[in-house]
């Protein structure tokens, strides 16, 4: 297995939301605090950066050229080539203290997105699901929403609130709405771990970026820790599988809040990392607007 590499040297203040676009064959990710969308292909083609007026954090693909993108005010249809926006629905548009954070499309064409306080105020956020034109709040009193991802069978959704340090799982109905109370999947509290973004591979195992721990951890469908990969960035934020075989693990990271000493020790914090693995990811699901 290859070693960890730097896939892109753009130093994001708060890198998040990596998305391997299955039609464009590019990796799309965000610098939330920079209000930027970034894109790059495997051979450095299609490299671009789009800058917006509001914070942007996550997206799901609609077609080859358009995404459903979460901003701090709304869900927007964005043309990746031009940056043109069309508002689809407001997202806490009356709350200037909040922004969007982690999000991912589900197997039914829905899009889950979390909100949180810009200053990380406790329990000020929530998790919503957009499905065929309807935006519905599904979980409340969330401080830092993360780890939104889904099992290959489509019957289980995962998420976390990073502050309590527990990754939760919830059963989904036949069109993807939660049908059970969330239950503990992985309890990170005993190890002092801060679970951040996650993605599920083709075997149903969760890969979780662990903020402050310089690593991504792989957990089995039963929650057992199976593997860890270390990164030269304390604040790994979210993993994503991509590449021609969906075997490349991409990982965003952040510089936000790091001291001068910490940045000297890990100067590439904020970069996008990659590593070839022996595992395969899932093809990202398409968002259905209606």
Which residues are known catalytic residues?
196
> Which residue, 109, 102, 221, is CA-closest to 174?
109
Count how many Cα atoms sit within 13 Å of the Cα of residue 261 in the half-sphere of its side chain: 0
Query: What is the distance of C-alpha 207 from the center of its chain?
Result: 11
CA 167 to CA 208: how far, in whole Å? 9
CA 277 to CA 280: how far, in whole Å? 8
Beta bridge partners of 230: 215
Measured CA to CA in angstroms, residue 131 lies from 20, 112, 125, 150, 255 at distances of: 21, 9, 20, 15, 33
């Amino acid at each position: 297995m290859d070693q960890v590499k730097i896939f892109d040297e753009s130093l994001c203040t708060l890198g998040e939301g990596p998305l391997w676009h299955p039609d464009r064959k590019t990796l799309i990710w965000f610098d939330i605090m920079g209000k930027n969308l970034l894109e790059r292909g495997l051979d450095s083609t299609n490299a671009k950066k789009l800058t917006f007026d509001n914070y942007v954090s996550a997206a799901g693909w609609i077609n080859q050229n358009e995404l459903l993108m979460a901003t701090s005010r709304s869900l927007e249809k964005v043309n990746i080539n031009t940056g043109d926006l069309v508002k689809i629905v407001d997202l806490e548009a009356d709350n200037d203290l909040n922004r969007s954070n982690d999000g991912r499309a589900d197997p039914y064409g829905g899009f889950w997105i979390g909100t949180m306080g810009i200053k990380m105020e406790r329990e000020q956020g929530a998790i919503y699901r957009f499905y065929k034109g309807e935006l519905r709040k599904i979980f409340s009193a969330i401080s830092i929403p993360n780890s939104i991802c889904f099992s290959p069978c489509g019957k289980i959704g995962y998420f976390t609130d990073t502050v309590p340090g527990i990754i939760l799982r919830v059963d989904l109905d036949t069109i993807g709405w939660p049908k059970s109370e969330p239950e503990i999947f992985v309890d990170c509290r005993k190890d002092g771990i801060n679970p951040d973004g996650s993605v599920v591979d083709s075997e149903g195992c969760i890969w979780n970026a662990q903020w402050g721990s310089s690593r991504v951890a792989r957990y089995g469908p039963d929650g057992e820790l199976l593997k860890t990969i270390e990164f030269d960035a304390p604040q790994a934020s979210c993993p994503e599988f991509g590449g021609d075989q969906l075997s490349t693990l991409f990982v965003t990271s952040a510089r936000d809040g790091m001291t001068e000493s910490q940045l000297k020790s890990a100067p590439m914090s904020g970069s996008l990392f990659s590593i070839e693995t022996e595992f395969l990811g899932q093809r990202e699901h398409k968002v259905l607007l209606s």
